Amino acid sequence: MVFSVVTHVAVGIIINQHDQVLVSKRRLGSHRGGLWEFPGGKKEISESIEQALKRELFEELGISLTKFHPFTKVLHKYDEKTVLLDVWIISGFDGHAEGREGQVIEWRKLQSLQPDDFPEANAEIIKLVKLPKEIAITPDLDTTEELAILFKQYAKKGIRLIQFRQKKLNEVEYIQSLKYAFLIAQEFEIDLIANHSFGCLHANSSIGFHANSKTLMSIHERPVSKTQLFSASCHSLNELVQAEKLNTDFVTLSPVCYTPKYSHGFELGWEGFADLANSVSLPVYALGGVGRDDLGKAERWGAYGVAGITSYL
């Protein structure tokens, strides 16, 4: 039996205050030369992945990293080799980024990134960096009129992703409501993630699926295709590890701050949140007693974004 050698690569996602990400062009003659890539490079045997990330970005761009946290890992098999992309979000650095090895670099709008401009292994990274920074979770609603009004409010606030959560509905009622919600969401160019039973998975292949923590711990494989978003609710390290094993696209981690849903002392706090979020390579959204005004703080503590119910009403 022939075993493929995996090339472990440290990759840095550097996003500025204008919602732009730094990319560089691969040299002609190199593997997938002429295409664009996120900066980084191969880990040496003698160094940790964090050391490789810091070394590569200093050599390539002349910047010294001061703050960074894991984002995702992508294992991809090309015909000629297999790579493991160990992707990190760079949230702080010293210096001015420039192409120190003669490579062309550009700051590009996140939403303008196209997978065809990058080596194939980067498609999953591009999908994830395009995730919005805010996710609205719906409260229980009584009528379709309330649903339409709520989605219009979300659209005015710039929300692009909604977790459709309706605890009072049975499966049949939920699927009917989900179909109506999808039509309204399409009108406002908003994406939906269903939060209910597995019965809603086949309602529409354009809708993602969100697993609560109980469902998360009971399944053994990703329940939807890679073309659909798959997220999960996490409250502990065990649940985060399970979410990583199942290749979720992102998770919510809660409660960060006190909420009436939980008793005092159950909240993680920002330090506790950061410790857990940094233990896995997943985009993590802060949830519980946080809102859009906390986005900056959440990012500083290692969150990719924030999610909430009442903060978006």
Tens digits of residue pLDDT in 208-242: 999 999 999 999 999 999 889 999 999 999 999 99
What is the domain partition of the chain in residue ranges? 6-129, 134-312
- 120-134 pLDDT tens trace: 889 999 999 999 999
Rounded mean pLDDT of 202-213?
91
Rounded mean pLDDT of 17-29?
88
Angstrom distance (rounded) from CA 272 to CA 269: 5
Confidence of residue 203 (pLDDT cuts 50, 70, 90): confident
Among 155-159, 191-195, 228-232, 261-265, name the one with the lowest average pLDDT.
261-265
Better-scored residue on pLDDT, 28 or 93? 93
Angstrom distance (rounded) from CA 198 to CA 145: 26
Q: What is the pLDDT of residue 1?
A: 37
Q: Which of 102-106, 161-165, 291-295 has the highest mean pLDDT?
A: 161-165
Topology of the domain covering 134-312: TIM Barrel (3.20.20)
Q: What is the pLDDT of residue 152?
A: 97
Q: What is the pLDDT of residue 29?
A: 64
**CATH for 6-129?**
3.90.79.10
Q: What is the pLDDT of residue 178?
A: 95
pTM: 0.91
Q: What is the pLDDT of residue 140?
A: 96
Among 25-34, 69-78, 95-104, 269-278, name the one with the lowest average pLDDT.
25-34
Confidence of residue 3 (pLDDT cuts 50, 70, 90): very low
